[in-house]
Every structure is written in structure tokens, then in C-alpha cells.
Structure 1
Amino acid sequence: MKLLLFGATGMVGSRIATEASARGHRVTAASRSGQSPIPGVTATAADAGDPARVAALAVGADAVASACVPPRDGSDPRGPFLALNQALAQGTREAGVARLLAVGGAGSLQVAPGQELSDQPGFPQAALPEALAHRDVLAFYRTLDDLDWTYVSPAAAITPGERTGRYRVGGDELLTDEHGNSRISAEDYAVAFVDELENHAHPRARISVAY
């Protein structure tokens, strides 16, 4: 499978590139730096917010994926991050690629009917702008009826760790373990992400993955 991956040099994106490449997929890693996240992966400099550049790179790909994150420079990230994803979808569409997968956020996952994680009193205020930016992007994807998108939300805590190959898949709900913790390693998140890429099990849907 040929995959065009944006945000490939970040914590999650580099692990998706590693996982996909290890399974024999042909990965083009796109980032603003143009650096390869791992040896042997083709790298190119590109901005996911440039639909013409996205389209040019995506021609012939089986899927486009985004591990991009909202701006973290202290400005309001909602508008710029939504615009980036709109451009990414436009470029994917113009290239004739049907599938678009996105690394999502956990803040919009439900902890109870009608109650999202980011709305809870203990949610870190510093993380709220990014959570709201991801929520806006999910709402945008849900308006798309001409792309087979999948939005993959991680657990509340996602950090570098071990690749075990184990994870659970949910929908709009926050997944927790028997102790009430919601977590997953970035490595196992990448396993879940590439499994979805290969299996195409949840078209036009948000899924959540956690231990």
C-alpha cells in the first residue's frame, strides 16, 4: 500500500511511519522540515495546508494520513488547524484519493452521555485550546460525504512506550481500564492506526483506541 503521511516527524507520526514501513507499505513522509523519521522512508518537505502540494504528492497513493497537530505557539489554534484540515481534504480529493485518515484528539470523547472529556472540571486548561481545535476538525470531517475518512482518537494519555500489539477499539466513548485509567503507548496507537489503514473497518467514522 502506498501511504502519504503528513506530520511524519512528530511523536505519533514517526511511529506510524515506522509501523507502516515495517509492514512493507511504501510511506512518503511529508513534513515542513522534509526530514525522514526513520531510515529507508522517503521524505519530502510539504505543508498540509497547501492543497495543491497535497494533491501533487498524493497522486497514486492508496491513502493520505495526517498526524499533524494544532499550532502550539500560544495563539488560538482552532481556525488555523481547521483550515489545514480543510486544505488536506481538498488536496486529497483533487488527487483522486478516496481515503483520508487523521490522528485525532481525546478531548471530544464522551465520559458519559452528552458529556465530553474536555468539558470536565479537572481537564487541564492548558490543553483546552488544542482539544477544541481537534473537536472542530472532527465536526468538519463528519460533513464529508465524498471521502472515506477515519478519525482515530487516542486514550487520554498517550506517551512513548512499548509496542505490545494490544489495544481495544471503541467509538465516541473514552475507553478506560479496570482502574479507570485511559492510556496507550504511541507505539500501540500506531499499530491500531495502521491496522485501520489496512482493514478499512471504520469508513466515515471516529474510533477511539486504548488499553
Structure 2
Amino acid sequence: MKIAVIGATGMVGSRVVAEARARGHEVAAGSRSGSRQDGWFDVDVADTAAVARVIEDNDITVLAVPPVRTGDGDVTAIRRSHQALIAAAPQGRFIVVGGAGALQLPDGSLLKDSAEFPAEYKAESDVFGDILEDYRASQGLAWTMLAPAPMIAPGERTGAYKTETDIPAGETVSAEDFAVALVDEAESGAHRGTRFTVAN
């Protein structure tokens, strides 16, 4: 399978590249800075035409690009990039790495709106909640969104995880097992046109 990963230098993207290559897939790794290594390419998620070409040229594309959380970065820019991609309507499968903030609590409210939710992630979570609704309202796209557990960090690759759709599947997930779940989805296509979430 030909898999492209946009955002391949990040915590999630780098592990997806490693997991997919370990399974024998042909992986193209993309980032804004590119790389001198074979199999890497330059791409900016804001370049809609370039991203659409990547999606159409591969069996599946992973979009693992988070908003900017600090400094002068505009966290809403990532939503505009996804809206432009939806409008471009590329014909190919892709998986968007989302956030945990738009998952539901038992009372039906969203995790991001709870008093305990970390303030530094609130703006990012609002944006990814909006992006999820943009994809849900779209037509004719082969999209999937995968959200992590509320806590994701580098850790152990166990190969074991559990899934849910609207509620957290658990409190934590290692970045390595998140990548396992993502590549499993790339291979199976079990959650096309929907959001799901994983935890250890």
C-alpha cells in the first residue's frame, strides 16, 4: 500500500511513518521543511492543490498537522486549510489526526468544555471540533478522523488498544499505539466517513 504522511516530523506523524514502514508499506513522508532522506517531500498543509495531489496519488494519506499552540500562530488557519481541502474534493482516502477535546462526556457535553480541561489546549480543541463538523457535513469524501485519548505521549508500543466513537475509550494512549491504530485503519478502512478514538 502507498501511504503518504503529511506532518511526518511530529510526535504522531513520525511514529506513523515508522509503523507503516515496519509493516512493509511504501511510505512517502511529507513536512514543510522536507528532508534530504529518500522518500521525503516538501509540502505545506495550506497548499490545497499540493495536498489534494498527494491524496490522489496515494492509496491513503495521513494528515497529522496540529494547529500552532504558542506564539503568534493563528490556530484557526488549520481549519481554513481543511475547509479548502473539502472544497477541492480530492478523490482518495485520507485520515485526519484530530484531538480529544471534541469527545463527549457521559452527560453529553464535550470534554473541551469541562472545567478540568487544560486551558492551553482549549483553542486548538475548539478548532478541531469545528473541523470534525466540517467533515461530517461534507459529501463525497473518503475521510476518517482519529482522535487520541485525553492524554497522548511517547511510550511503549504494545499493539493493544480499544476504540470508541463519541466518548473517550480511556484516559491515555501511547503515541506508538496510536500509530498502530492509525495504520490498522489505513489497512482496513473500517471507519470511513466518521470519527473514532483509541486508548490503551
TM-score (norm 2): 0.93
Secondary structure of the residue aligned to 2:143 is: strand
Structure 1, 111-120 or 188-197: larger mean CA deviation: 111-120
Letter in 2 for 1:203: R
Query: Of residues 185, 191, 199 in structure 2, which corresponds to 1:202?
Result: 191
Alignment of 1:131 onto 2:120: no
Structure 1 residue 35: Cα displacement: 2.5
User: How far, CA to CA, are the matches of 1:54 and 1:11 in structure 2?
Assistant: 20
User: How far, CA to CA, are the matches of 1:88 and 1:21 in structure 2?
Assistant: 26
Aligned-residue RMSD, C-alpha: 1.8
Secondary structure of the residue aligned to 1:107 is: helix
Where do 5+ consecutive residues of structure 1 fail to align? Answer: 177-181
User: How far, CA to CA, are the matches of 1:113 and 1:205 in structure 2?
Assistant: 21
Letter in 2 for 1:128: K
Structure 1 residue 72: Cα displacement: 2.4
Aligned residues of 1:78 and 1:136 also touching (Cα < 8 A): no
Secondary structure of the residue aligned to 1:35 is: coil
TM-score (norm 1): 0.88
Structure 1 residue 148: Cα displacement: 1.6
- The number of equivalent residue pairs is 200
Structure 1 residue 59: Cα displacement: 3.7
Letter in 1 for 2:194: A
What are the equivalent positions in structure 2 for 1:60-209 lying under 5 Å apart? 60-75=57-72, 77-90=74-87, 93-94=89-90, 96-97=91-92, 99-176=93-170, 182-209=171-198
Letter in 2 for 1:109: L
Where do 5+ consecutive residues of structure 2 fail to align? Answer: none
User: How far, CA to CA, are the matches of 2:115 and 2:72 in structure 1?
Assistant: 23
Match of 2:28 in 1: 28
Secondary structure of the residue aligned to 1:29 is: strand
Structure 1 residue 113: Cα displacement: 3.5
Q: Compared with structure 1, are the counterparts of its residues 20 and 206 closer, same or farther at alpha carbon in structure 2 (3 Å cutoff)?
A: same
